[in-house]
Amino acid sequence: MQDMTAETPPEPPGTPEPPGGQASLAARLGAAAVGPCGAEHYLSAFARLDAAGRVVALWNWAAAAAGPAWLAFRALWRELAVYAVLALGVAVGVVLAHGQTLLPPAVLAGIALALWLASAAALGLWGDALVHRDVRRRVEAAVACAATVQQAAQQLQSAAPTRRRLWLVAGLLVVVVAVAAAAGLRWGGEPDRAAEHGAPQVSGTVTVSPPPPAPRESVQEPVPADVPGWDEAEARAVQGETDAVLAALQASGHAPAVEDAPKAGSDAPPPKRAGKPPKAAAAVQPPPATVRKLYINVGIFADPANAARVRERLRKEGLPVGVDKLERSGGKVLRRVRVGPFTSAAQANEAAAKVRLLGLDAVPAAQ
């Protein structure tokens, strides 16, 4: 600050020199440029920076805590623009990474928090140096344009931050934080529960019943833009249907050889072996099917959006997946997501392993 006063125009004749000489004059102009908010802190920091003759790291709590609001209050527009560009880049990167499921949400939140803490620390350490450089520039410009020191001080004081500007910036900061919090709650209120928790689980005893009618042709449904949460109550009402079919197949001795396949209860009666049919009856009956289709049932959903979301997740993994419509009593339509068909147990085992790696249920079934 002391080297700026060399360009100060001479005072009119008869004007006494300010007490303290050039140092007092520099402090007077610096105080006028800083304004009434935090003048004591910044003048002390300016004295330390002038004594060091170089940029040194100090600490500014307002710059560290408020960040962009502090930059706007101090009219550091170029620094605020750089901060905004960097913040926007980080936000876009987090959103894209979340949409492409490149990293878990917890990891993305940790990265964003670490970057915010780094920016707060940087502004806290070098905020006083930024204000010092801006004040020096404005003092030099005012001294060059004004005829007297008094006029230069008045010009600097008119452009200095005021308490009115402080309250205005604080109000805008509250509004921005409220809007960001509302947007964050809305964005995080609809998590991808299909990928994190899989299909609903069914507990308790399952009663073996005859296989249900053959489902209709699989329909590939588009993924809606706004997907609601899981409908747990509706899905649990019919989830035991797949286990019942598998138990019936196990009891009849035709269950597919898939890993982790549930076994039928010990109280189930053993399958009866039919006697050898007469030759005449064997000639009339059609030959039995030799190719058996194996499926991996992932879940049954009452909400088509949930079924479509699970289907898209499986499709991205390269698995053959379809959604079957199942009509229940009362005209209610359910969606069953399953992977297949496969013609060998090895293919079904490999597909079941991929499904389980995604955190979803993998219940084998045959048709």
CATH of 195-208+230-264+292-366, one of 3.40.50.300, 3.30.70.1070, 3.40.1160.10, 3.40.50.2300: 3.30.70.1070
Domains of the chain, by residue range, sit at 2-11+19-191, 195-208+230-264+292-366
For the segment 189-217, the average pLDDT, to the nearest whole number, is 47
Distances (CA, A) of 303 to 3, 320, 358: 73, 21, 20
Write down the pLDDT at residue 362. 83
DSSP string, 276-343: PPPHHHHHHSPPPP----EEEEEEEESSHHHHHHHHHHHHHTT--EEEEEEE-GGG-EEEEEEEEEES
Residue type present at position 173 = L
For helices 21-34 and 105-145, angle between their N-to-C axes, nearest 10 degrees: 130
29's CB contacts (< 8 A; 6+ apart) are: 1, 4, 5, 139, 142, 143, 149, 152, 153, 156
Express each pLDDT in 15-52 by its tens digit: 444 444 566 788 888 888 898 888 899 989 988 998 89
**How wide is the angle at C-alpha 209 spanned by C-alphas 205 and 215, nearest 5°?**
115
pLDDT, mean over the chain: 74
**Site of tokens 């080297």:** 3
Confidence band for 85, pLDDT divided at 50, 70 and 90: very high
CB atoms within 10 A of CB 2: 13
Cis check: omega of the bond before 341, within 30 degrees of 0? yes
How far apart are alpha carbons 362 and 351 in whole angstroms? 9
For the segment 245-267, the average pLDDT, to the nearest whole number, is 48
Express each pLDDT in 325-351 by its tens digit: 888 777 788 888 988 888 888 888 888
169's CB contacts (< 8 A; 6+ apart) are: 69, 72, 73
Which token pair is 352? 């079941």
201 versus 155: the higher-pLDDT residue is: 155
pLDDT over 70 at 8, yes or no: no
Write down the pLDDT at residue 70. 93
For the segment 142-156, the average pLDDT, to the nearest whole number, is 87
Query: Closest by alpha carbon to 290, among 343, 328, 331, 346?
Result: 343
Q: What is the DSSP letter of 20?
A: T
**Site of tokens 């609001």:** 69
